[in-house]
Amino acid sequence: MKLDYRSEAWPIAGRFTIARGSKTEAHVVYVEVTDDGYRGHGESVPYARYGETVESTLTELESARAQIEGGIMPSMRAGAARNALDCALWDLRAKASGTPAWKLAGLRPLNPLKTAYTLSLDTPEAMGAQALQNARRPLLKLKIGGPDDLARVEAVRLNAPKTRLIVDANEGLTLESLKTLAPELKRLGVVLIEQPLKVGEDEALKGYKCPVPLCADESLHTRAELDRCARLYNAVNIKLDKTGGLTEALALRKAAQDKGLMIMVGCMVATSLSMAPAMLVAQGADFVDLDGPLLLAEDRAHGLKITGSMLEPPEPELWG
């Protein structure tokens, strides 16, 4: 087996802003594995919030090269490097066996999925304008994180009166601000609040009966955090960059479902190559947020076919 990897930068359509900052490019790591004439590839997004950089991810892959090329899956921490490698190996296995990845995973044939569309954090007026442009989408996700949060959600609701809304705080609230904001969000028809409090500080959610279901994002990476999150949240956001690949993501989904938690499958801003394996995890999920390619100025060749907010299953030329 041979391992190749590289960093890539994909321009974002405009600017993407959350509570922690803004960016105009999506920086991804691309991994390719070849064996006996077959090729598999995967993609990941190193995330600074989790102590990752593109450089550290490439270094981690290089340090594991000898084991990978020797046919041994190395022991790697859950994160971007393991994600790109794991997804590339799933793709390689599918190509070499002539068996779709969904079948290898023991799933039914993939169905198209309706994805949320993310509105970048901005002024209430600008977010209202974004909502107006996307008012026909079935599900909008709003980034919040400041004193004008209620005005932001009100502006979005005014301009997208029929759309379901998710609010994502990216750890930007306090328990006090959440308690003040949550009843208003309920009034405005918000169906889910993602990660309101900082990791660690979210222990304060224990015993709090929020009028809107709460979803763990930054607090949940793998099954190791699931028991804790199940005590604090109603839902979990599964992202392959957090789980370290499709293998753990599928196991995490089953374990979370067994605990009665709602399932959200999310993504970083990335190309269709990141979304394709996540579509296996997202089958039957309560919330799907795989809009990464919709936020880019251009996508990878053989990208997912997307009509409005509907994602079609990936073609073999892309992945799986």
Q: Specify the CATH number for the domain of residue 68.
A: 3.30.390.10
Same domain membership, residue 300 and residue 224: yes
Distance CA 305, CA 315 (A): 9
Q: What is the DSSP string of 60-128?
A: HHHHTHHHHHTT------SSHHHHHHHHHHHHHHHHHHT--HHHHTTPPPPPPEEPPEEEPS--HHHHH
Same domain membership, residue 172 and residue 84: no
Assign residue 175 the CATH number of its domain. Answer: 3.20.20.120
Distance CA 228, CA 130 (A): 36
Same domain membership, residue 120 and residue 98: no
Instruction: Show pLDDT as tens, one digit a residue, over the chain (320 residues).
Output: 999 999 999 999 987 877 667 789 999 999 999 999 999 999 999 999 999 999 999 999 999 999 999 999 899 999 999 999 999 999 999 999 999 999 999 999 999 999 999 999 999 999 999 999 999 999 999 999 888 999 999 999 999 999 999 999 999 999 999 999 999 999 999 999 999 999 999 999 999 999 999 999 999 999 999 999 999 999 999 999 999 999 999 999 999 999 999 999 999 999 999 999 999 999 999 999 999 999 999 999 999 999 999 999 999 999 99
* Per-residue pLDDT, 208: 97
φ, ψ of residue 234 to 5 degrees: the values are -100, -20
- Note down the domain range covering 274: 113-311
* Per-residue pLDDT, 145: 83
Adjacent-strand bridge partners of 290? none
Same domain membership, residue 166 and residue 55: no
- Per the domain annotation, does 319 fall within a domain? no
- Per the domain annotation, does 316 fall within a domain? no
| Cβ–Cβ under 8 Å, residues 45 and 269 | yes
Same domain membership, residue 149 and residue 69: no
**Regarding beta strands 21-35 and 2-18, do their DSSP bridges make them parallel or antiparallel, or are they unpaired?**
antiparallel
Distance CA 257, CA 238 (A): 12
- Structural domains counted in the chain: 2
Adjacent-strand bridge partners of 190? 165
- Per the domain annotation, does 74 fall within a domain? yes
Same domain membership, residue 146 and residue 95: no
CA–CA distances in Å: residue 168 to residues 131, 154, 228, 241, 278: 15, 15, 20, 18, 20
Query: Which of 104, 129, 156 is at the close of a domain?
Result: 104
Same domain membership, residue 202 and residue 142: yes
Same domain membership, residue 168 and residue 22: no
Token pair recorded at residue 136: 């026909």
- Per the domain annotation, does 318 fall within a domain? no
* Per-residue pLDDT, 269: 96
Same domain membership, residue 270 and residue 183: yes
Query: Which of 104, 135, 169 is at the close of a domain?
Result: 104
Query: Which of 70, 104, 138 is at the close of a domain?
Result: 104
Same domain membership, residue 141 and residue 95: no
* Per-residue pLDDT, 164: 98
- Per the domain annotation, does 185 fall within a domain? yes
* Per-residue pLDDT, 132: 98
Same domain membership, residue 301 and residue 164: yes
* Per-residue pLDDT, 2: 98
Amino acid at 69: E
Question: Which residue's entry shows tokens 């359509």?
Answer: 13
- Per the domain annotation, does 292 fall within a domain? yes
| Cβ–Cβ under 8 Å, residues 57 and 80 | yes
Same domain membership, residue 123 and residue 75: no
- Per the domain annotation, does 220 fall within a domain? yes
